[in-house]
Structures are given as C-alpha cells and as structure tokens.
Structure 1
Amino acid sequence: MSARTIFFLRHGQTDFNVRGIVQGSGVDSSLNDTGRRQAEQFFTVYGHVAFDKVYTSMLRRTHESVRRFLELGLPHESHAGLNEISWGVREGTRITLEEDAEYRHVLGQWAAGNTAARLEGGESPDEVAARQRPFIELLKSRSDEQTVLVCMHGRALRVMLCQLLGYPLSCMDGFEHSNLCLYKLEFTGSMFTIRNFLDVSHLQVAG
C-alpha cells in the first residue's frame, strides 16, 4: 500500500487573532477579510488536489477555511475531537505572555512536563490528547482515504502533531503555527512523517 498523505491546516485569521483574544473551543468566531483571503490563496494552490475526505472541527472558522473545497462536493465530516483547547473562564479575553502571569505559568508548566495543568475551567493538553485519540484511530483505519485534508486549531494542532509523531506533549511548542499554515504528513500504515513543516508558501500567491 502506498503512503497516505494528510494535510493538517490551521484555520485562517479571525479578528480575535488580531486582537490577541483567545477563542478556544467556546468562541465560535468567523474569519475576517484576511482569513478569507488566506483560504482563497490556499485553494488557489491546492484546489486541484483530489482529496478523498475533508475533516474539520465543529467550529465555523475551520469550515470557512475550507469552504471552497466543500463547495466542490468533497466528502466532509466534523469532529469535536478536533476542536481547539478550552481556555475556560479566559475565553473571549485578551491573554498575552507579557501581560498575563497565570497564562505564562500554565505554559511553563506544560513545557516542564506537567501537561495536566490548565487554566480555570479549561482543558489540559492531556485532556485534549484524550479526546483526539478516537479521531486518530478513525483516521488510521480509513485506508481508502489516500489524501485527506484536516482543518483544526493552533494549540490542538500542536497536541495532535505530538501524538502522531511520538513526541511528549511537553514538546508541543516546537510545532509553531500561524493562520492558514500547513503541516503535510505521510502515513505508511505504521508511522507518520512530516513532509511540510509550517508551510505558508501558498500565502505568497494572489488570492
């Protein structure tokens, strides 16, 4: 069996991204004009790819990021396991490393290996990983889907890549992300390998 190709895409830009406001799984925002242009640029470069399936989270910003592919009539499934991490009571508020000591502390805990830590009312990376596992098993089992597009969220994508590539969750910040960035992986049936890392070359074309 030939290697399968899985495109992991982070959603396009929202106004919350610009303002430094965390969205998490509880804020169902839409793309802004820049995000819609990013989605169009991605489609311009990859619209010819014969994807067997498109997977998204339950949140509208992922659906809008792959809207042009869905309009082609490609098979599509939404999975809650692909939703962004919950930031709890802080969702919808501005959180930055420079301004927020609690946020800085939690990120430090994660990097130190305490991936059970969380913000008040939110999820830990361990909990995100647990809800992703059924999707991962589903993805692995569908060997007839040779080329797949998965659109999800920044922190959740970091957790996902750690799981697929065999890294501890404490390493997740090594997987940088930006709006509408691409990580392209190959799956042989037994292991995943990265082919494109933080690829944003498609954003250089006219959208």
Structure 2
Amino acid sequence: MHTKTIYLIRHGETEYNRIGVVQGSGIDSDLNETGIAQARAFFEAYQHINFDKIYTSKLRRTVQSVQNFIDLGIPYEQHEGLNEISWGEKEGKVPNYLEDKYYLEVIANWGKGKTDVPAAPQGESPEEVVVRQKVAFEKILSRSEEKTILVAMHGRAIRILLTHLLDLPLSEMDTFEHTNLCLYRLSYHNQTQKFQLEVSNDVAHLSTLLVE
C-alpha cells in the first residue's frame, strides 16, 4: 500500500501577525526577525527528513519559511490554490473594536455551518477556498513518486484544508488550532484514499528559541 507523508506547516511570524493586521491573500508580507528564527528552528529540527518535494502558496512568507530546505536543492512548486483566504477589503487594516466584532461574527457564522459567507466584502468564503485547494491537492496526490513532502501554507487555509482532507464539515475548521510555524503531519494511504492525522499544531521545534 502506497503511503504519502505530508508535513504541513503554517508560515513563520510576519510583522503584520505581530501587530494584528489582517493579511489574507492580498498582503504579500515578509517574515520578521522572529519568523526567520522560527523558520531556522524548524529547519534545524527537520533537516534530516528526506523531503522529495516542497509545496508553498504564491505568497513570500511561505517560501521564506522553507527557504533553508530549498537551499539544499529540494525541488519546490508554488500554487495559488494554497494561498490564504482572501479577507477582501479588511486586508491590511489593524482591527478596531468594530472590526473585531465583525470578525467574530463571521467566525461564528462559519461555526454555524454558514460557510458560504465570505470573509469580507470582496473576499472569499471557506467554500470557495476549498474549491481551489482541491485542485492543488489533487495534483499533489497524483505524484506517487513523491513519498514525503513539505507543504507551507497559512492559518485559516490550513484549518479549511484539514476539514477537507479528514472528511469533516467545514463548520468544524476552528477545532484545528495553529500558531506561527506550527506543524501538522498527516499520512495519506493510496489504497483507502484516506488521510490520518498524526501530529497537530506541534511547536516543540520552537522550544530552542529564547523567550524574552
């Protein structure tokens, strides 16, 4: 039985993450110093893994999070289908009280099963994100020669993806916690066409970083 192991990580911290600015897919930010250190710590912990391929979104912060592995010569591809959910007109803004309330209401609606509701005007809904993620992952899964892969994505996009891969309702996406440069590890069994979640929101590799 063919098995594919997927190391799925969220990108490292950006300055927008630190100050609470909504990024989404429309803000192409860089990792800050903390994010760079997180990426290095993850590399130090997992450089012994023989990754056959690296997949990232089209946004710089995911590529920078795995740049140390790319520098080893591991082939990689960028896919727009792996991008973060679009927050439309909310992107690039520091949430004020009203925007925090708006955000919480959107999340609550998604939890009630209203996953066709867009994140914001001119933004995407979780259901729209799943459509593009399915296309990207069908391509990834079709490559049976790639036994162990590293995928760098984004927080909300990971939550959405995990519900799809694990055959869960989209409304349960917030059961999957995430932090910057956390790791989810899954195995995919070709015979059953099922995913098994082995590691969730693991940040043990970040324990080496100094805490101020």
Q: TM-score, normalised by structure 2?
A: 0.94
* Aligned equivalent of 1:204: 207
Between the aligned partners of 2:201 and 2:98, the Cα distance in structure 1 is: 24
Q: Please state whether the residue corresponding to 2:187 is helix, strand or coil.
A: strand
- By how many angstroms is 1:104 displaced? 1.6
Alignment of 1:111-150 (within 5 A): 111-118=111-118, 119-150=120-151
Partner of residue 195 from structure 1, selected from 184, 194, 198: 198
* 1:167–1:96 distance in 2 versus 1, CA, 3 Å: farther
Which structure 1 residue ranges, 5 or more long, are not aligned? none
The code of the aligned residue for 2:180 comes to N
* Aligned equivalent of 1:95: 95
How big is each residue's C-alpha offset from its partner over 1:35-60, in whole Å with a ceiling of 9 and x where there is no partner? 00000000001011110000000000
* Aligned equivalent of 1:163: 164
* Aligned equivalent of 1:154: 155
Alignment of 1:32-51 (within 5 A): 32-51=32-51
Alignment of 1:17-96 (within 5 A): 17-95=17-95
Between the aligned partners of 1:72 and 1:96, the Cα distance in structure 2 is: 43
- By how many angstroms is 1:106 displaced? 1.0
* 1:144–1:121 distance in 2 versus 1, CA, 3 Å: same
The code of the aligned residue for 1:5 comes to T
* Aligned equivalent of 1:182: 183
* 1:93–1:173 distance in 2 versus 1, CA, 3 Å: same
Between the aligned partners of 2:26 and 2:56, the Cα distance in structure 1 is: 16
* 1:166–1:141 distance in 2 versus 1, CA, 3 Å: same
The code of the aligned residue for 2:5 comes to T
Between the aligned partners of 1:13 and 1:98, the Cα distance in structure 2 is: 25
Of 22-31 and 197-206, deviating more is 197-206
- By how many angstroms is 1:99 displaced? 5.5
- By how many angstroms is 1:146 displaced? 0.4
Alignment check: 8 A CA contact 1:20 1:96 kept? no
Q: Please state whether the residue corresponding to 2:64 is helix, strand or coil.
A: helix
The code of the aligned residue for 1:196 comes to V
* 1:92–1:206 distance in 2 versus 1, CA, 3 Å: closer
- RMSD over aligned CA atoms reads 1.4
* 1:96–1:197 distance in 2 versus 1, CA, 3 Å: farther
Between the aligned partners of 1:24 and 1:95, the Cα distance in structure 2 is: 13
Q: Please state whether the residue corresponding to 1:100 is helix, strand or coil.
A: helix
Between the aligned partners of 2:80 and 2:96, the Cα distance in structure 1 is: 26
Between the aligned partners of 1:169 and 1:48, the Cα distance in structure 2 is: 34
Between the aligned partners of 2:203 and 2:65, the Cα distance in structure 1 is: 14
Over the matched positions of the two proteins, sequence identity in percent amounts to 51
- Alignment: residue pair count: 207
